[in-house]
Structure 1
Amino acid sequence: MATTRRATAPDLPFMVHVLRYAIGGVAGPLSVEDCRTNPAIAHYIDGWTPDQIGMICLVDDSPVGAAWLRNLPADDPGYGFVAPGIPELMIAVSAQQRGQGHGGFLLASLLDECTRHDVRSVSLSVEAENEPAVAMFRRAGFVDVSSNADRLTMLRVDGNPVVSPSR
C-alpha cells in the first residue's frame, strides 16, 4: 500500500532522480548531469526548500515518486509557466512503479496539501503523447491552456476546472 509524506531536504537526490523521468518523458530519462547543468531543468530543483510544497510517495517505506511545486519568475519560466505567482507542478513515479495508481495518489496528496496551504492555482507541462499522464491530470481538474510543439500546458484553479480559451 502506498503512502505519502511531505518532502524534506534529504529527499532532493530522489527528486532529481524522478525529475529525470518527468523531463525525459516518453523518450526516457535524462541523465542526472543534464538535470543539474541545464538551467531550464535545474531550476525545478535549485531553490526548492522543504517549506515549499512537496510530497514523496512511498511503497513499503521506499520512495517511488515525488511531486513538488516551483514558483518560477517570468524572466526564468518553466516549461509549464502560465503567470507569475502560479506555481508549476513537477511529478514523476519511478519507471518500475508506473501503472499502479501511484501517480494519481501522489497528485491527489499534493493537491490536498495545496488546499491546506491556500495555493489556489497550479500549472504544469506534459508531453501530449503521454496519454496516461494527460488523462490523470484531466481527472484531477487540469485543463489545457496552450500547446507548443508536442507539449501541453495545463492549469488547475481552485480545485475546479477552468474554461479553456477558444482556439
Structure 2
Amino acid sequence: MVHILCLAAGGPSGPLSVKECHDDPALAHYLDLWTPDQIGLICSDDHRPIGACWTVLRPAADPGRGFVAPGIPELIIAIAPEYQDRGHGSFLLAATLQATDDAGVRSVSAAVNDDDVRSIGLLRGAGFTSVGSHDGHSVMMRVR
C-alpha cells in the first residue's frame, strides 16, 4: 500500500518516492493508521499489483486531507500510470464502494488535488459530490 499511496499523493505530476511519503506527516499517517480490519483492495495484472483502494478512519484530533466528520472513513485510490485509462480505477473503486456498502458504511470521503481532473471525474462518476476544499485539495463525499 505504501507504493500506491506514493502514486496517489503525487497526483498528475507523478509518484512521490517512498521516503517522501514516510517523511511527510500528512501522508505517513494514512499508512500508520490503516489496519487489516479496514476495507482495502489491491488490483493486480499478471500477479503484479497495479493499484489499490482502501479506506482509513481518521480521528478528529488527527484529520486527513479528506476528513469530513468522525466515523466517516476517507478513501484512497491509485492506479499505476501505465495502467490508467483502461477501466481499472473504475472497477477498483466500484468494488471498494460495494465492500463499504456491504459493511454498513453509509458515507465515504475523499481528497483529490484540485487540478486532478481524471480523479475528480472518477469520483463524481461513482456518486461523490464536492463538499469543500482546502490546501489545494477538493474534499468530496459519497453518501449511500
Shared fold (TM-score greater than 0.5)? yes
Instruction: Extract structure 1 runs of 4+ deviating beyond 2 A.
Output: none
Q: Secondary structure of 1:45's partner?
A: helix
Measure the CA separation in 2 of the matches of 1:118 and 1:65: 24
Other-structure match for 2:17: 31
Q: Secondary structure of 2:139's partner?
A: strand
Other-structure match for 1:85: 71
Q: Secondary structure of 2:118's partner?
A: helix
Name the amino acid aligned to 2:95: S
Identity %: 51
After TM superposition, give the deviation of residue 149 of structure 1 in Å: 4.6
Q: Secondary structure of 1:44's partner?
A: helix
Other-structure match for 1:66: 52
After TM superposition, give the deviation of residue 100 of structure 1 in Å: 0.8
Measure the CA separation in 2 of the matches of 1:61 and 1:28: 23
Q: Deviations over 1:48-76 (max 9, x none)?
A: 12111000112223211001000111111
CA radius of gyration, larger in: 1
Instruction: Provide TM-score, normalisation by structure 2.
Output: 0.95
- Gapped regions of structure 2 (runs ≥ 5): none
Verify: 1:126 aligned to 2:112, yes or no.
yes
Measure the CA separation in 2 of the matches of 1:89 and 1:147: 16
Instruction: Provide TM-score, normalisation by structure 1.
Output: 0.82
> How many residues matched?
144
| Equivalent residues in 2 for 1:140-159, closer than 5 Å | 140-158=126-144
Name the amino acid aligned to 2:103: H
- Gapped regions of structure 1 (runs ≥ 5): 1-14, 159-167
Measure the CA separation in 1 of the matches of 2:134 and 2:61: 19
Measure the CA separation in 1 of the matches of 2:58 and 2:64: 7
After TM superposition, give the deviation of residue 79 of structure 1 in Å: 0.6
2:42 to 50, 56, 65: 56
Cα RMSD for the two superposed structures: 1.1
Measure the CA separation in 2 of the matches of 1:27 and 1:78: 21
Name the amino acid aligned to 2:5: L
Measure the CA separation in 2 of the matches of 1:136 and 1:38: 26
